[in-house]
């Protein structure tokens, strides 16, 4: 598994794609949070906290994570190297996990520089350092869990076609539906209990819960289960492919 992981990470940083994706994430967040006027702009918001960043980041990752994972198995299938990987003395699970963790690491590398924002809002407050560290840490924690789920979805989408564009679009669609689809469906109902039940199936409600600084085991179980389900679907899909 570690060999696959190293190969995946090396492939990101021996080509422009890794730098492009990390740069795109930081650039988009920087522009929306500090430059563009609008609901996400911290100066317009009037409060020195990172709430807007954690509202924005999940939406950006809906597009960036599938961009990272689209080549995971699509490219292997197109180049004819997937069959070689499957007949090697490496289990399918190790192959899946190596690809998965390689993509997760790239996402984490993209997130790490945003810690600078914490120091920025600390200086911007009326009282220096007057921000809720628990909420910030909880939000980062929730974002990592969300990234893991998106990555598992993206890796699964990459097994569905040898066309990377199709894998990219399918990954975006599934991530969007998992994150916001249940919330959107819940809004169609007037019954509050029905709305809460439907929202509970979506990732947004669980991410928002963790982002409030409250670590609830139900939210953690949700994200871990979601990740494992799509990793298992990836495993089953690869088992069905001809060798």
CA pair distance 208, 139, nearest whole angstrom = 8
pLDDT band of residue 211 (cuts 50, 70, 90) is: confident
Nearest to 237 by CA among 19, 44, 82, 13: 82
What does the pLDDT read at residue 64? 92
- Dihedral sign, CA of 22, 226, 155, 88? positive
| pLDDT surpasses 90 at 172 | yes
For residue 188, count other CB atoms closer than 10 A to its CB. Answer: 9
pLDDT per residue over 111-153, tens digit each?
999 988 888 777 665 555 556 677 788 889 889 999 999 999 9
**Is residue 16's pLDDT more than 60?**
yes
> How far is it, in rounded angstroms, from Cα 40 to Cα 48?
12
- Helix ranges restricted to H, 70-132: 71-79, 82-87, 92-111, 115-124
The pLDDT confidence band at residue 55, using thresholds 50, 70 and 90, is confident
The whole-angstrom separation of Cα 28 and Cα 75 is: 27
Output the six-digit token pair for 23: 């740069």
How many CB atoms sit inside 10 A of residue 226's CB? 20
User: In the numeric block, which tokens belong to residue 190?
Assistant: 């007037």
Task: Using the predicted structure, report yes or no on whether residue 21 has a pLDDT greater than 90.
Answer: no
Strand, coil or helix: 114: helix
- The answer to whether the predicted template modeling score (pTM) of the entire model surpasses 0.85 is yes
Mean pLDDT of the chain: 85
Rounded to an integer, the average pLDDT of 66-77 is: 88
Ramachandran angles phi, psi of 77, nearest 5°: -70, -45
Contact in structure between 223 and 146 (CB atoms under 8 Å) = yes
Cα separation, 43 vs 142, in Å, equals: 25
- Name the more confident of 130 and 170: 170
The kind and range of the H/E element at 48 are: none
Q: Are 53 and 29 in contact (CB under 8 A)?
A: yes
Between the CA of residue 82 and those of 71, 75, 94, 125, what are the distances in Å? 12, 8, 14, 53
Judge whether residue 224 has pLDDT over 90.
Answer: yes
Q: Counting Cβ atoms within 10 Å, is residue 160 exposed (0-12), middle (13-18) or buried (19+)?
A: middle
User: To 10 degrees, the CA torsion angle through 25, 104, 213, 36?
Assistant: 10
pLDDT at 209 over 80: yes
């Amino acid at each position: 598994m570690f060999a696959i992981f190293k190969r995946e990470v090396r492939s990101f940083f021996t080509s422009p794609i890794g730098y492009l994706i990390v740069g795109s994430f930081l650039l988009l967040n920087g522009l929306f949070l500090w430059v563009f006027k609008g609901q996400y702009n911290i100066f317009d918001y009037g409060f020195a906290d990172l709430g807007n960043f954690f509202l924005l980041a999940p939406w950006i990752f809906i597009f960036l994570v599938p961009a990272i994972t689209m080549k995971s198995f699509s490219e292997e299938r197109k180049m004819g190297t997937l069959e070689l990987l499957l007949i090697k003395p490496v289990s399918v699970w190790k192959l899946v996990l190596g690809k998965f963790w390689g993509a997760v690491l790239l996402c984490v590398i993209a997130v790490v520089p945003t810690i600078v924002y914490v120091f920025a809002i600390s200086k911007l407050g009326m009282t220096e350092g007057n921000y809720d560290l628990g909420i910030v840490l909880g939000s980062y924690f929730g974002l990592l869990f969300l990234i893991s789920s998106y990555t598992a979805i993206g890796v699964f989408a990459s097994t569905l076609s040898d066309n990377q564009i199709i894998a990219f679009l399918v990954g975006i669609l599934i991530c969007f539906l998992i994150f916001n689809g249940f919330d959107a469906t819940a809004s169609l109902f007037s019954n509050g209990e029905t709305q809460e039940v439907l929202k509970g199936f979506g990732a947004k409600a669980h991410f928002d819960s963790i982002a409030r600084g409250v670590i609830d085991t139900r939210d953690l179980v949700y994200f871990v289960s979601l990740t494992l389900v799509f990793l298992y679907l990836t495993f089953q899909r690869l088992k069905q492919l001809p060798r």
